[in-house]
Structure 1
Amino acid sequence: MNEASLPLGSDASAGPLTSPASQVASAAAASPRKQRAIIAAAIGNGLEMYDFTVYSFFAAIIGRLFFPASSPTASLLLSFATFGVGFVMRPLGAVLIGNMADRRGRKAALTLTIALMTVGTALIAFTPSYASIGVTATVLIVAGRLLQGLSAGGEIGAASALLMESASQGRRCFLVSWQAATQGAAALVGALTGAAVSASLSPEALESWGWRVPFLIGLLIAPVGIYIRRHLEETHTESREHASLGAVVREHGRTLVLGVLLTTSSTSSMYIMVFYMPTYLVNTLHMPQVTAFLAACVAGLTMLVMAPLFGRLADRLPRRKTLLIVNSIVSLCVLLPNFALLASGPGLPLTLCCIALSVTIGSVGSGAGAAMMMEALPRHHRATGMSIMYSVGVTIFGGFAPLIVTWLIGATGSRMAPAGYLLGAGVISFAALLLFPSHPNRD
């Protein structure tokens, strides 16, 4: 069966012999499971994005406290390098934890990822400054980011697979889109928390201990997430013989490479327009700190609202890949004019509109793209394959994007340097999208 053979808005999980009464009963029974799956994915994925947001918000302070250097720019670069170094561990986490999800089930893998994320966050929250314990402080902060990266590498594949496997075929994009939506929600909460702490404390108190408060708040969420994930309903079990890493690479090597390239645009846009943007607005465009705070809030809120809306739309379209192609073309056409307006420092309202437009375009394919990537793989290779595609793409093109564009702006003096990076990433993703295999509604 191909995607075009389904009626508009159909639910392929309801067989032709299923009575209306039994469909209603089945939907009622499935609804709590879908809700639990969304909550379980949201808490772990949200904690990850929340930590990244508050780290970005306090990157300058963290740079001064843990990476003393000859200039503020050098400290900031070292801070962003540590932000990026966690991404080096993502491919390892993708292989180890993603493969665990295919071998032992989604629940065990998701419980492990949130435990690792909790330990990493605790290291960042409690480590004394460089002035107190010297280079040990730097090492512990880096170790915390490495653990967070290891966790995040396995998180995306296992959580996305759980969401898709908890959905009927006619609602896959919608459920999977909650991965992006929860990232937006976490970015919004992280920005609000960071802004509240910054506004409530003096600069001295903020640098002394206040910046740790948002990380401590994040730790309070972790026990709830661990409890919920340990009591999830499993959606997949598989024997060790069929889920080996070698089999994934051997049987789906071309798909994995195309998937890595496909994520280039979305991950670059996410980490530049959401996580790097507050720093860009303040340090490069010299806008007030409140603008950076509002930009992060607008970006997070836009993702939270738009991702599920476009996920629902994708489920109703006969050909989801067409939506992704059209969206990529629009993105490439709009990118440079939109960023040129942003870089001109047009004032608060237009600045927020530029950011909202960019994030909206990025949200269009969040559910459809992830569903397409997972449908390209059989169930017993899905978590490993998705983890590898996403994590390698994020590592190469997303995680170090703030560091790269910070360096590019310093080297060229051009405010448009981030746009050039995003344009190159968009072209790569568009080419990969045209070649990516489509297996709609694959179980």
Structure 2
Amino acid sequence: MEISQGSAVLAGAETTLHAQAPVGKLKRAKAVAAITIGNGLEYFEFTSYSFFAIIIGKLYFPATGDIAQLLLVTATFGIGFVARPVGGLLLGAYADRAGRKAAMTLTLQLMALGSALIVFAPTYAQIGLAAPMLIVAARLLQGFALGGEIGASTSLLMEYADDSSRGFYGGLQAVSQNLSALLGALTGLLLTAVLSTAALEGWGWRIPFAIGLLMGPLGVFIRRNLHETLDDGPVAGGKRSQGSAIRTVFAQHRKQMVAGILLTMGNTAAIYITLYYIPTYASKILHMSMSAGLAAACVAAAVAAVTAPFAGKLSDRIGRKKVFGAFCVLLALVIYPAFRLINAYVMLEVLLPTIALLSVLTTFIAVPGLVMLPEMFPRPVRVTGMSVVYCVGVSIFGGFAPFFATELMALSGSKLAPSWYVIACVLIALLSLPLIQDKAGRPLD
């Protein structure tokens, strides 16, 4: 298998950069584990919010009517993504100047600080408007941190991989993210099973964020011995600066930025509707129990975690663009009938397999989409470029996907509106493919 061959130094002029990277199967495996586990720890903290959105909305965003409250809490979920482009720009440039490790350590610390704000935030009943302001501040801080994390960690992962295994490595990144979402959903299921409603709303919902707070130091410890890959590549002029990385991306890589945002539009809209919005949709729209919605999220995350390596491997074999394009079309064809089905038969036996199918299709879009982003940019500006395009796409079309879907339902009166949103996003994402060079099996630099 290609991974096992990664211990040898790649030969030839076109792979010289890889020859400077760390070699050895054990060292490479430890590095991949450190990168992906650290990334997963940060996603656990950020995504736990979506699984407790109903309780947080009740405690911090009081409003009349289910839809009004749902709009408030989904907007706050989206606010966490507003800071992502800023974090992507500043922390991405920092990673391209000071190194991937330094940036990833900083993002872990910022994420833990955001979790601390949520853990200790008094409710609206206790301090009034200051309470939702604290939640918004925490979400902005976490969004800023993740804006830098995804670009730095994914770029580092791609720089560790060889030319024939980058898709597979990108699949491992998706595995860590989905396992963290699964852990968050399972934590929610456990808390709803063992705690009374009063205890859950009083203090139990804070437990996942307390866990996230403790994970910050663990992530820093796990990543302490990573090899820095920034200096493995050549730099024009012999030096890097934060300003030059930002200027270079905006001046020389406009086509890649447009393509990257369109690409991200499709995969994130699908992810945030089929995974993170489902618990809220099942509870508020289908009027199922909170545990049913969390069970659906568990299934979606587990299926995605199992499927992701295969999606990456397929993209290594036949090309990223072919896999991404084919599954965008498949999801566009399937998601509307899927939403009709779960609305016509409101039962767990229908909801779970339907969500599992949507999760498979979404994963085969998300993994090649994620891998193509760092492949678009050269090493000296890779983190900056990837962070900006990914965070802009995620912020607008992913983070606010639950809000847009809810608003579409309110305007149209149709419970099927979330599927319309996903169909539009994945079809528009296809416009990015002619702008992208498929680098499957080709040198990264």
The TM-score with structure 1 as length reference comes to 0.90
The C-alpha deviation readout for 1:214-271, integer Å capped at 9, x for no partner, is: 2112222221101223332111136228952011111101110111011111101111
Root mean square deviation of aligned Cα: 2.5
Report what 1:330 is aligned to: 330
In structure 2, distance between residues paired with 1:72 and 1:285:
12
Cα distance change, pair 27–396 in 1 and its aligned pair in 2 (3 A): closer
The C-alpha deviation readout for 1:312-345, integer Å capped at 9, x for no partner, is: 232233x332222222222222232223223323
Q: Which amino acid aligns with 1:287?
A: M
The C-alpha deviation readout for 1:148-178, integer Å capped at 9, x for no partner, is: 0100111111010011111121211111222
Matches within 5 A, 1:73-92: 73-92=67-86
Please say if residues 191 and 297 of structure 1, whose CA atoms lie closer than 8 Å, have aligned partners that are also in contact.
yes
Cα distance change, pair 233–261 in 1 and its aligned pair in 2 (3 A): same
Q: Which amino acid aligns with 2:369?
A: G
Matches within 5 A, 1:127-276: 127-237=121-231, 239-240=240-241, 243-276=244-277
Please say if residues 311 and 366 of structure 1, whose CA atoms lie closer than 8 Å, have aligned partners that are also in contact.
no
CA deviation after TM superposition for structure 1 residue 141, in Å: 1.0
Report what 2:444 is aligned to: 442
Pick the aligned partner of 1:114 from 108, 115, 129.
108
2:290 is the counterpart of 1:296? no
Report what 1:352 is aligned to: 352
Comparing 50-59 and 156-165, the one that deviates more: 50-59
Please say if residues 255 and 435 of structure 2, whose CA atoms lie closer than 8 Å, have aligned partners that are also in contact.
no
* Secondary structure of residue in 2 paired with 1:169: coil
2:81 is the counterpart of 1:104? no
In structure 1, distance between residues paired with 2:50 and 2:6:
42
* Secondary structure of residue in 2 paired with 1:97: helix
Please say if residues 258 and 432 of structure 1, whose CA atoms lie closer than 8 Å, have aligned partners that are also in contact.
yes
* Secondary structure of residue in 2 paired with 1:259: helix
Q: Which amino acid aligns with 2:328?
A: S
The C-alpha deviation readout for 1:193-233, integer Å capped at 9, x for no partner, is: 01111111111111111111121122222211012233321
Cα distance change, pair 425–17 in 1 and its aligned pair in 2 (3 A): closer
CA deviation after TM superposition for structure 1 residue 76, in Å: 2.9
Please say if residues 13 and 170 of structure 1, whose CA atoms lie closer than 8 Å, have aligned partners that are also in contact.
no
Q: Which amino acid aligns with 1:143?
A: A
In structure 2, distance between residues paired with 1:369 and 1:199:
37
CA deviation after TM superposition for structure 1 residue 142, in Å: 0.9
In structure 2, distance between residues paired with 1:128 and 1:9:
49
Q: Which amino acid aligns with 2:376?
A: A
Aligned residue-pair number? 429
In structure 1, distance between residues paired with 2:145 and 2:306:
26
Residue identity (%): 45
Report what 1:405 is aligned to: 405
Report what 1:69 is aligned to: 63
Cα distance change, pair 281–379 in 1 and its aligned pair in 2 (3 A): same
Q: Which amino acid aligns with 1:252?
A: H
The runs of 5 or more residues in structure 1 that have no matched partner are: 1-7, 19-25
Q: Which amino acid aligns with 2:340?
A: A
CA deviation after TM superposition for structure 1 residue 16, in Å: 8.4
Cα distance change, pair 15–146 in 1 and its aligned pair in 2 (3 A): closer
CA deviation after TM superposition for structure 1 residue 119, in Å: 0.3
Report what 1:311 is aligned to: 312
Cα distance change, pair 32–239 in 1 and its aligned pair in 2 (3 A): farther
Q: Which amino acid aligns with 2:33?
A: I
Cα distance change, pair 375–414 in 1 and its aligned pair in 2 (3 A): same
Cα distance change, pair 56–242 in 1 and its aligned pair in 2 (3 A): closer
Q: Which amino acid aligns with 1:257?
A: V
In structure 2, distance between residues paired with 1:308 and 1:16:
23
2:376 is the counterpart of 1:376? yes
In structure 2, distance between residues paired with 1:49 and 1:113:
11
Cα distance change, pair 73–416 in 1 and its aligned pair in 2 (3 A): closer
The runs of 5 or more residues in structure 2 that have no matched partner are: 13-19, 232-238
In structure 1, distance between residues paired with 2:365 and 2:67:
35
Report what 1:320 is aligned to: 320
Cα distance change, pair 129–16 in 1 and its aligned pair in 2 (3 A): closer
* Secondary structure of residue in 2 paired with 1:441: coil
Cα distance change, pair 29–127 in 1 and its aligned pair in 2 (3 A): same
Please say if residues 177 and 366 of structure 1, whose CA atoms lie closer than 8 Å, have aligned partners that are also in contact.
no
* Secondary structure of residue in 1 paired with 2:230: coil
Report what 1:32 is aligned to: 26
Cα distance change, pair 210–353 in 1 and its aligned pair in 2 (3 A): same
Q: Which amino acid aligns with 1:165?
A: E
The TM-score with structure 2 as length reference comes to 0.90
Please say if residues 9 and 316 of structure 1, whose CA atoms lie closer than 8 Å, have aligned partners that are also in contact.
no
Cα distance change, pair 9–90 in 1 and its aligned pair in 2 (3 A): closer
Comparing 296-305 and 243-252, the one that deviates more: 243-252
CA deviation after TM superposition for structure 1 residue 363, in Å: 1.1
Comparing 184-193 and 368-377, the one that deviates more: 368-377
Report what 1:4 is aligned to: none
CA deviation after TM superposition for structure 1 residue 12, in Å: 9.3
Q: Which amino acid aligns with 2:420?
A: G
CA deviation after TM superposition for structure 1 residue 435, in Å: 2.8
